Chains A and B, each alone.
Chain A
Amino acid sequence: MKTVHTDVLIIGTGFGAAAPALRLAEAGVKVVMVEKGPKVQTADFRQTSDPQYLLKYIKGTPGDHLSLTYAEALGGGSGFYEMVSLRAPSLVFDQTDAQGRRLWPEAIDRAALDPYYDIAERMLHVSQIPLAEVPKTGLVFAQLMKNLGYSVDRARYAVRGCQGSGFCVTGCVYGAKQSLFLNYLPQAVAAGAEIETDLEALSIVPLPGVHRGKARHLTDLPYRYQVLCQRRTGEREQLRFVARIVVLGGGTVGSATLLFRSRAALPLVSEHLGRNIAYNGSVKVVGLLPDSFPDADMFTGRSHPGMISYEFLESHGITVHGAKALPLMLVSAARMHLEGDRRDPAWWGTPHVELMGRMRRRMIVIAAFGLTPPGAALELSDAGDARVSLPLSSGLERYHGETQRLLESILVRNGCRLVRTDFLDKSLAPEEGVHFSTAHQVGSCRMADAPSAGVVNAHGEVFGCPGLYVSDGACIPSSLAVNTSLTILANAERIAAGILDRYRLQQGAAA
């Protein structure tokens, strides 16, 4: 088996991985990144509804009352996200658990992250959407809120030269969306980093020198971890990487899965591994606009239609957004029928055809992201497949019910007719009870001030495992009530800065 020695091995190429890769490569140390998914670039993207295309990159983890979606490709989710890039509000960092303990480490709050948000925003060219580019759906959503006296703000996006194609989630064919393979990753490569795609990390084993050496220059430290990897193409070749530092940036599911698989060799990893998953409690409702409203448009303009309302953040712990969906997304997710339509069947046949005929211009979707507690857990089956479970507490049911009623009231008080939607489970039957679905999962290896509360310390280093870091969404301790990518990236920048400082590396030394 081939063995590769490197100073730093980074697992993943998404938001949590890209910043450490760039900063450490810039500091002049040898960096290798391994990505489970395929190489992808702008030319590979298609504006399509072909499920086979999407399933090549988009993966899911099913579970009880919660399902998770993520991407496996170069750049992680950055190729397929809606490019919404918002800072987590200050109150996010003050969330506490049932015992009143702060979810985030004491040292981390909005002010501590702001310098790193600045860096992340510069790197991704984040800016507020110009008013003249807000899609029709976003403007109609704004009108809904305005009519009730509620505030709305233009959201912020990582994009340059948006064409408004409406296909953000299948990958931007214009190269306008600032996916990581347009900025961080090529800059890391230019600084000397190597990236291997279609290569899956299978396990991590500490080497005898793992506990030797304190804070001194990185290259003076012994090699501390061995990571076994396997190619996902061709002959399924296995490779062994030996590294002084290993950074896990494979996402909330990926990083926890790798640590679970490595647990026999890493017995000191906290019992909190796989637990404390937060998911931005997403609730969406659908309605048909009354005649007094102008048309919306599900199919044109950026996928996230430009507007967010913080009106209920302090009172209800939620932000409210306009939302859009391509036909593929809508019909594969849920049965829909117009409330009050007594025809049977209502979710297929003529009633459904009539409803779908109004989808593009008259259907409006509004969504809430909320500060739901980190109550979900990930576990591996005997076959090694990840599964997530969310105990459905009365508080969670109450949150879902109250949020749904609030969103519905926004529609109803504007004269909209509600569209009833039932999620489909994996057997294509409607889900029973409350079910959350998200791509904003965080926290399976959460940061904490002590191993009794989390898996990694405030610097992202795994308790009991010197030189082993988690820098992705897995270490974020709470729901954010806004899209998670910018916070994951900013926190990864912060962790990277901590590694540079800890090992006396000089920022930009390679240049």
Chain B
Amino acid sequence: MNAVPRRHALRQLGLIAAGLAAACTPMRVLTSAYPQVFDDDDGLVDRVLRAFVTAVIPDAPQDDPDLVRAHTDPAYPFAQYAGFFAADLSRRAARRFGGRAFERLDVGERTAVIAEGLAADATTRKLYNGAVVLAQIAFYAGIYDPTKGCPAIGFEGGNHWHPLTDITYPDPERFLSHTRTADGNYA
């Protein structure tokens, strides 16, 4: 199925929170192994998340200060699960690649780890789905800086004014077909 209703997108934003919350059941959080190393290294979650986002969006600049902000932003429920998500990535990476850290894998290896999470049990899948979509939203929409937007797709963000010559083409008649109404309203 192929529809992309814009309004659906707006609705979807509201549901992301609920979806992520549902994805991360308290039981899973309680029972997840959370390696001590995450408590001992303040920057580890950030590094793992950066490695994750740059696998989801290989063009994303790794040093972008906003790169993983959405995943740790208290405005989104994902933030409370970010540490567990990072730990899960690390655990899968270590198991799959002989103990190597997720953030030290190349893009192809990280992609394999993420794909594994997306194909895991339903709860894990929801968590990974949410993390991928959140990364795409934050990066492509430039949600934290309307003056920056997303240069990778030519999105200037919110505050760019365009003259009419940017908005339309000269001689627009050449594009037009015949009409069925006199004024746009069908009888």
A48 to B133 Cα, complex, angstroms: 19
Our pick among B1, B59, B164, B181 for the contact of A164 (Cβ within 8 Å) is B164
A441 to B156 Cα, complex, angstroms: 33
Question: Size band of the B side of the interface?
Answer: 35 or more
Q: Is the CB of A286 within 8 A of B2?
A: yes
| B127 nearest in chain A by CB position | A428
| Stretch from A1-9, A331-339, A468-476 contacting the other chain | A331-339
Quick one: which of A283, A299, A361 has the most chain B CB within 10 A? A299
A466 to B33 Cα, complex, angstroms: 64
Q: How far is the CB of B22 from chain A (nearest CB, A)?
A: 6
Q: Is the CB of B3 within 8 A of A427?
A: no
| Stretch from B43-51, B83-91, B97-105, B142-150 contacting the other chain | B142-150
B121 lies within 8 A of chain A by Cβ:
no
A-side contacts of B181, CB under 8 Å: 153, 310
B-side contacts of A50, CB under 8 Å: 143-144, 146
Query: Are A350 and B12 CB-contacts (below 8 A) given A133-B168, A283-B3, A361-B154?
Result: no
Q: Is the CB of B4 within 8 A of A156?
A: no
B152 lies within 8 A of chain A by Cβ:
yes
- B87-130 toward A: CB 8 Å interface, digit per residue (1/0)? 00000000000000000000000010011001000000110011
Query: Are A169 and B6 CB-contacts (below 8 A) given A51-B143, A139-B168, A426-B19?
Result: yes
- A155-187 toward B: CB 8 Å interface, digit per residue (1/0)? 110000001110101100000000000000000
A131 to B176 Cα, complex, angstroms: 10
- A129-145 toward B: CB 8 Å interface, digit per residue (1/0)? 10111111001101101
A213 lies within 8 A of chain B by Cβ:
no
Query: Are A434 and B1 CB-contacts (below 8 A) given A62-B11, A325-B6, A349-B111?
Result: yes
Query: Are A164 and B167 CB-contacts (below 8 A) given A47-B158, A139-B175, A153-B184?
Result: yes
Q: How far is the CB of B17 from chain A (nearest CB, A)?
A: 9
A-side contacts of B67, CB under 8 Å: none
Q: Is the CB of B167 within 8 A of A67?
A: no
Q: Is the CB of A332 within 8 A of B168?
A: no
A404 to B111 Cα, complex, angstroms: 33
Main secondary structure on chain A at its contact with chain B? mixed
A408 lies within 8 A of chain B by Cβ:
yes
Q: Is the CB of B8 within 8 A of A437?
A: yes
Q: Is the CB of A299 within 8 A of B155?
A: yes
Q: How far is the CB of B58 from chain A (nearest CB, A)?
A: 5
Q: How far is the CB of B85 from chain A (nearest CB, A)?
A: 14
A46 lies within 8 A of chain B by Cβ:
yes
Q: How far is the CB of A166 from chain B (nearest CB, A)?
A: 8
Our pick among A136, A323, A344, A438 for the contact of B169 (Cβ within 8 Å) is A136
A55 lies within 8 A of chain B by Cβ:
yes
Q: Is the CB of A69 within 8 A of B167?
A: no
Q: Is the CB of A54 within 8 A of B19?
A: no
B10 lies within 8 A of chain A by Cβ:
yes
A325 to B146 Cα, complex, angstroms: 16
B-side contacts of A348, CB under 8 Å: 56-57, 114, 132, 136
A435 to B4 Cα, complex, angstroms: 10
A146 to B158 Cα, complex, angstroms: 33
A interface residue numbers (CB < 8 A to B):
46-52, 54-55, 58-60, 62, 67-69, 86-87, 89-90, 110, 128-129, 131-136, 139-140, 142-143, 145-146, 149-156, 163-165, 167, 169-170, 282-286, 294, 297, 299-301, 308-311, 313, 319, 323, 325-334, 336, 344-345, 348-350, 352-353, 356-357, 359-361, 365, 367, 400, 404, 408, 418-429, 431, 433-439, 482
B interface residue numbers (CB < 8 A to A):
1-16, 18-20, 22-23, 55-59, 75, 111, 114-115, 118, 125-126, 129-130, 132-133, 136-137, 140-144, 146, 149-150, 152-159, 161-162, 164, 166-169, 172-173, 175-181, 183-187
- Top 3 nearest A-B pairs (CB, nearest first) are A47-B158, A437-B8, A60-B11
